[in-house]
Amino acid sequence: MPLQFTFMFKRKDLEGIREKLAEIVGEENVLTGELETALYSYDASMARAKPCGVAHFDSPEQIAPVVKLLYDNKIHFSPRAAGTNLSGGAVNLKGGFILNLARLDKIHQIDTRNGIAVVEPGVVNLALQEELEKFGFFYAPDPASQKVSTIGGNIAENAGGPQCLKYGVTSDNLLKLEVVLPDGSERTFSLDDPGFELMSLFPQSEGTLGIVKKAWLKILPIPKYIKTVAAHFPSIEDSILAVTGIIAEGIIPRSLEAMDKFSIQAALKGLERKIPEDTEALLLIELDSDDLETLEKELVRTGETLKKNRALRIETAKDEKEREFLWKIRKESYPALARMSPNVMVEDGAVPRPLLPRALKEIKEILNSYKLKAGLVFHAGDGNLHPNVIFDERDLEETRRVRKAGHEILKTCIKLGGTISGEHGVGVEKRAAMNWLYSQETLEIFRKIKAAFDPDNLLNPDKKIPVSKNQIPKLEREEPGLSDKAKDLLNEMKFRDKTGERTAISGSGSKLNPREIPGNCKILKTAGLDKVIDLDRENFTVTAEAGLKISELRDLLRREKLSVDIPEDLNGTLGGMIASREFRELRSLLLGADLALAGGDLIRLGGKTMKDVSGYDVLRMMIGSRGTLALILSVTLKIRAAGSQKRDFKRPGEAAQFGDLHLKIKQVFDPRNLLNPWIMQDKRIG
Ligand SMILES: Cc1cc2nc3c(=O)[nH]c(=O)nc-3n(C[C@H](O)[C@H](O)[C@H](O)COP(=O)(O)OP(=O)(O)OC[C@H]3O[C@@H](n4cnc5c(N)ncnc54)[C@H](O)[C@@H]3O)c2cc1C
């Protein structure tokens, strides 16, 4: 039985609002009829909820007045674009209005000199790619839904795709956003804004914090040479082991996609070409470079690794037509399954890459125990897995089994240190699962962030965060324990919270001017909080305590023939590096962190997975926070094989200024202004 939600907006008020909306967007653009609203009561997930009306837009300038009207009248509203969301994000759970942004599809500018495209939110991802191709450029995020899904929807979900392994997900490719906030006010957020990174909150916020009106996207020149390889394997497990082998070689392919026989056969149905009997899985590998020699060397090493990992045969696409065919197998797997059965549930967990084989084993057992059929497709390089379960939602008993199996798959991902969503979001479908992943303290921070932007819960209400605070316990997860020093610091913060004592957080002290610290602040040093907690050579991640000196991390990695993309001239501690926002690329290195709140509560964010869109992106928001939000206890960073050190880094703008939204966020984290209180003092917090 699909999820259904009740109509809560009073019909008698509808006519007046309809008229006012029509004054802004035009009579023909406001729909309130039974059939018309029914068409907007679903997206690509199983959630259903009928809105009271739908507003279409002909110009982005209409968004703010519409939002203000609805906000002032306390009417719920949800932004929507192509409606390909797989977690119920694009339906309005309170029977409010759907704001359909799909017609806002202008590409305003393609600036190849500075690598920027400026677009409206309804621009379809593939339409942008086709336009960019004319200039020899591309936009990295390439979700499998790119033929229809929009840039606004991609931003709201922080969409990923095959190319994201090398070039990053949506949030890694955003430079600036124009946003309409829930009250109808307009703001611009960019990577160069002063203060901590507020822009980080919008990708993966699932339309709950603001509506993207215009976006400035990073675009890249299409690499000169691209090679596409399909490796056949006797089992999906072998294909996944080959993925770990390739990454361990220090090769970062453009894409590394795995799929099982069921998915391949579905995709090839009706086509001339068949796969050999013994092929149980395909691994699609794409390598790119501007230097042919480098590319060919990588191709040879990739081939050797594939053979070592039991590849049965390796095909390299000879021309663009063959490349397109290989990608067709991957991209057709979902539509083909959708043709085979009335419904497909696309699950979307992620685990640390080396744990994919364990996850796979457990997922197969779960599917078997619930007697379900699924095609298995993986963004294997990212550890992001999609079991695509086919079923018929009219069969209530089968649908119940599908839901239960989905929950068990997510629990498996959590148990392995992973997450409940690598790219499709939480929406309504996974709200309950948020309790399994996060502590109640962390969920409370997410709730307060939502309330700071939208106190009346009007914009895309009741998404992403569990509605009832029913204390469903967090599951046991493969994650490191806390050191004695970290526990001491948490206890000390609890104590200071009770006494109301103010704290000045000090790492190595290199960035703290002692003359700045007011007399009523007691210093809390992270010295001694300096252990390397986990160095995972297969996953290419390091987790270390925040007081560790960057130089010590560099030395350790050098000894292990590894490196980290931190500017050579940067010193101080890891915590200080994040708090003071030293280089723009840091945001793409950060995978996880443990934070201590002013009251001594522990907040654990992210981990060793490459992708995680489950909560609000508080992790990246910590960049530039200068100890005003929380004490950073530990961090998990991406690392790489030595010899491929990145050299060009961008220095962002001045981090030491804060605006009114920063102050609202400060209230969420540290309402009594106990942490580094002087830094935002001129704004009179506390
Ligand atoms: C076949 C298929 C394949 C898919 N493959 C992938 C994949 O490879 N990778 C991936 O990441 N996802 C994938 N998805 C999921 C989905 O396509 C993405 O989440 C996509 O980003 C949604 O875009 P949309 O335009 O359809 O947005 P919608 O579904 O209309 O909306 C998605 C969410 O964004 C919000 N929203 C929409 N526009 C705005 C805006 N302007 N401002 C603020 N909020 C907004 C909505 O409220 C909603 O919460 C796939 C889905 C399908 C059906």
> Does the Cβ of 460 fall within 6 Å of ligand 1?
yes
Question: Ligand 1: does its nearest atom lie under 6 Å from the Cβ of 627?
Answer: no
Using the mean position of ligand 1's atoms as its centre, give its distance from the Cα of residue 157 in Å: 6
Q: Residue 84 CA: which ligand 1 atom is closest?
A: 26
Residues of the chain with pLDDT under 50: 1-7, 684-686
Protein residue with least CA distance to atom 3, ligand 1: 145
**Alpha carbon of 207 to ligand 1 centroid (Å):** 10
* Ligand 1 near 246 CB (within 6 A): no
Distance CA(178)–CA(361), nearest Å, equals 44
Residue labelled with tokens 């068409």? 39
Q: Is the C-beta atom of 337 inside 6 A of ligand 1?
A: no
Q: What is the pLDDT of residues 324-382, one digit of tens each?
A: 999 999 988 889 999 999 999 999 999 999 999 999 999 999 999 999 999 999 999 99
Q: Are 647 and 569 in contact, with CB atoms under 8 Å apart? A: no
Looking at the DSSP assignment, which residues form a beta bridge with residue 122?
none
DSSP 200: G
Q: How far is the CA of 348 from the centre of ligand 1 (A)?
A: 13
Cβ-Cβ contacts under 8 Å for 459 (sequence gap 6 or more): 67, 76, 77, 78, 79, 182, 207, 208, 209, 210, 211, 453
Closest CA to 199 of 623, 664, 669: 623
Give dist(CA 589, CA 433) in Å, integer.
26
- DSSP secondary-structure letter at 669? H
User: Which residues pair with residue 386 across a beta bridge?
Assistant: 377
pLDDT at 511: 67
Instruction: Assess whether the C-beta atom of 99 lies below 6 angstroms from ligand 1.
Output: no
Residue 81 in contact with ligand 1 by CB distance below 6 A:
yes
Domains of the chain from N-terminus onward: 3-100 (3.30.43.10), 107-221 (3.30.465.10), 225-340 (3.30.70.2190), 484-683 (3.30.465.10)
ipTM given for this complex: 0.99
CB 630 within 8 A of CB 590: no
- The pLDDT, as a whole number, for residue 646 is 62
Assigned token pair, 352? 């640390």
How far, in Å, from the CA of 211 to the mean position of ligand 1? Answer: 14
Q: Is there an atom of ligand 1 within 6 Å of 334 CB? A: yes
Ligand 1 contact via 204 beta carbon (within 6 Å): no
> Does the beta carbon of 206 sit less than 6 angstroms from any atom of ligand 1?
yes
For a ligand 1 pocket test, name from 157, 171, 346 the mutation site with the most ligand atoms within 8 angstroms of its C-beta.
157
Q: How close is the Cα of 44 to the center of ligand 1, in Å? A: 9
Ligand 1 lined by 384 (C-beta under 6 Å) = no
Query: How many angstroms is it from 249 CA to the middle of ligand 1?
Result: 34
Cα angle 100-103-106, degrees, rounded to a multiple of 5? 135
Ligand 1 contact via 375 beta carbon (within 6 Å):
no
Which atom of ligand 1 sits closest to the CA of residue 43?
29
Q: How far is the CA of 614 from the centre of ligand 1 (A)?
A: 14
* Ligand 1 atom with minimal separation from the 149 CA: 25
For ligand 1, whether the C-beta of 78 sits within 6 Å is: yes
Q: Which residue has its alpha carbon closest to ligand 1 atom 35? A: 207
Between CA 580 and CA 588, with CA 586 as vertex, the angle to 5 degrees is 145
Asked whether 101 lines ligand 1 (CB < 6 A), one says yes
CA of 126 to the centre of ligand 1 (A): 13
* Atom number, ligand 1, closest to the C-alpha of residue 460: 47
pLDDT in the model for residue 653 = 63
Separation of CA 555 from chain center? 31
Q: Is 423 in the pocket of ligand 1 (CB under 6 A)?
A: yes
- Ligand 1 pocket, residue 211 CB under 6 Å: yes
Query: Ligand 1 pocket, 84 CB below 6 A?
Result: yes
Nearest atom in ligand 1 to 86's CA: 15
Q: What is the pLDDT at residue 499? A: 95
Instruction: Point out the ligand 1 atom lying closest to the alpha carbon of residue 422.
Output: 11
Q: What is the 138 CA–ligand 1 centroid distance (Å)?
A: 19
Instruction: Evaluate the CA torsion angle 58, 64, 70, 76 in order and state its sign.
Output: positive
What are 414-443's pLDDT values in tens digits? 999 999 999 999 999 999 999 999 999 999
pLDDT at 479: 86
Helix axes 236-248, 292-308, angle to 10 degrees: 140
Using the mean position of ligand 1's atoms as its centre, give its distance from the Cα of residue 442 in Å: 25
Verify whether ligand 1 is closer than 6 Å to residue 178 (CB atom).
no
CB 175 within 8 A of CB 216: yes
Residue to substitute in 84, 91, 255, 332 for testing ligand 1 pocket (most ligand atoms within 8 angstroms of CB)? 84
Distance 148 CA to ligand 1 centre (A): 9
Q: Is 442 in the pocket of ligand 1 (CB under 6 A)?
A: no
Q: Which of 237, 189, 192, 241 is nearest to 215 (CA)?
A: 189
- Does the Cβ of 90 fall within 6 Å of ligand 1? yes
Residue 648: CB atoms within 10 Å: 6
State whether the beta carbon of 152 lies less than 6 angstroms from ligand 1.
yes
**Mutational test site, ligand 1, from 39, 41, 66, 85, max ligand atoms within 8 Å of CB:** 85
Going from the Cα of 131 to the center of ligand 1, the distance in angstroms, rounded, reads 21
Phi-psi region of 469 (alpha: psi -120 to 50; beta: other; left: phi over 0): beta
C-alpha torsion sign, points 422, 215, 590, 512: negative
Whole-number Å distance between alpha carbons of 425 and 155: 11
Phi, psi (degrees; rounded to nearest 5) at 42: -150, 165
The alpha-carbon radius of gyration of the chain (Å, integer) is 25
How far away, in angstroms, is 80 Cα from ligand 1 center?
Answer: 9
Distance 100 CA to ligand 1 centre (A): 13
Determine the atom of ligand 1 nearest the C-alpha atom of 155.
21
- Going by alpha carbons, the residue nearest to atom 21 of ligand 1 is 154
Tell me the C-alpha distance between 620 and 172, whole Å.
11
By the 8 A CB rule, do 360 and 243 touch?
no
Distance 159 CA to ligand 1 centre (A): 7
